[in-house]
Amino acid sequence: MGSLPILEIERLSIVINTGGEKVYPVQDISCRVYKGDRIGIVGESGSGKSIFALSIGNLLTPGVFSVKAEKFRFLDYNLLNLSESSWQKIRGTHIGYVFQESLVSLNPHLTVGTQLTEHLVAHRGVSKKDAQKSAVDILAKLQLSDPISRMKMYPHQLSGGMRQRIAIAMALMLTPTLIIADEPTTALDATLQVQIVNLLNIISREYGSSVIFITHDLSLLANFSSHIWVMYGGKILETAPVECLYREPLHPYTKILISIRHNLEEKKILKTIPGSPPDMKTLYPGCPFYDRCRFAKEECNNSAVSLVELLPNHYTACTLVQKGEITL
């Protein structure tokens, strides 16, 4: 790819200091996001997905979370050294978040219309009337019925599916460069989930926004993502264009995820993979999947893992696959 990535991260590690005990939710992650990418991050609960996502917008509490990286760049901003006013600009203009529970991001005391338009009026100097028109347009694109009257409603007057569309509309109002959607459909029923993912797909293409979509449901990513990143134990273990990952997973952990296919809800995973999920109080010197991998050798635990491109655009962090010692 010739163009510069919009987001470039090298060797990002995050430590949580919880009164004497340390937790290591992100362990030495390097990655890039290009304009128009629709990245799906998939991983079991507790693998560090949300903390990673929050670090991009500097939404982690200082003093509790310490963030270190060799490079952490978004557009022209060095995220390791930014003033609060630059952060506000980034969050208000360039990065739009959608969280799992829309009630968290919506203000119960303000109408949908006010919430959707206030940032556009404040950050872009758009007139109230034009902002309202944009909001109604976006709600209509998100297939919310009767958008004009919904604008006058309060969040509690809407269903969960409607609220989630409002939360997505809020993230889209400023046509952000990057949308980060953290399990945005998890609380919804299966049909609505697919509908919302499809709408996010269509709209992100129309607006040219890159998207990071976080989920533990691999099946949702098949029709959405351009690329999938597989996260486990605070590390990215494999990245690939979506069809390559499904067709030819290169990492033993991904292979199991693909065989389970859909939702990585815990019981299924535990039944399929012996041993316990990774404990994030451990800083893994090598492969975090070591304890549960049937191919594991001593060296997997001792040598640092890094993503290596084995097929075009398809990277794996399995040392033994990289050396050609195992094939799946």
Q: How far apart are CA 197 and CA 202, in angstroms?
A: 9
Q: Which does 287 bind (CB under 5 to 8 A by kind): ligand SF4, Mg ion, ligand ADP, none?
A: ligand SF4
Tell the smallest beta-carbon distance from residue 324 to ligand SF4 (Å): 12
Residue of closest CB approach to ligand ADP:
50
Cβ distance to Mg ion smaller for residue 28 or 44: 44
Instruction: Count CB atoms within 10 A of the CB of residue 86.
Output: 14
Query: Which is it for the CA torsion 108, 109, 111, 114, positive or negative?
Result: negative
Please name the amino acid found at residue 122: A
Cβ distance to ligand SF4 smaller for residue 84 or 298: 298
Contact 300, 294 (CB under 8 A): no
Cβ distance to Mg ion smaller for residue 113 or 277: 277
Q: Which does 319 bind (CB under 5 to 8 A by kind): Mg ion, ligand SF4, ligand ADP, none?
A: ligand SF4
| Residue 312 CB partners (closer than 8 Å, separation 6+) | none
Q: Which of 168, 185, 178, 220 is nearest to 40 (CA)?
A: 220
Cβ distance to ligand ADP smaller for residue 45 or 219: 45
Tell the smallest beta-carbon distance from residue 16 to ligand ADP (Å): 5
176 DSSP β-pair partners? none
123, 141, 175, 200 from 136: Cα distances, Å: 19, 9, 14, 16
Tell the smallest beta-carbon distance from residue 246 to ligand SF4 (Å): 19
Tell the smallest beta-carbon distance from residue 29 to ligand ADP (Å): 12
Q: How far apart are CA 182 and CA 30, in angstroms?
A: 19
The residues binding ligand SF4 (CB under 6 A) are: 252, 287, 289-290, 293, 295-296, 300, 318-320
Please name the amino acid found at residue 126: V
Cβ distance to Mg ion smaller for residue 173 or 221: 221
Cβ distance to ligand ADP smaller for residue 25 or 40: 25
Contact 70, 80 (CB under 8 A): no
Half-sphere exposure of 231 (CA within 13 A, CB side): 29
Tell the smallest beta-carbon distance from residue 22 to ligand ADP (Å): 9
Stretch 44-73 residues interacting with Mg ion (CB under 5 A): 49-50
Q: Which does 277 bind (CB under 5 to 8 A by kind): ligand ADP, ligand SF4, Mg ion, none?
A: none
Tell the smallest beta-carbon distance from residue 272 to ligand SF4 (Å): 15
Tell the smallest beta-carbon distance from residue 18 to ligand ADP (Å): 5
Contact 74, 89 (CB under 8 A): no
Q: Which does 300 bind (CB under 5 to 8 A by kind): ligand ADP, Mg ion, ligand SF4, none?
A: ligand SF4
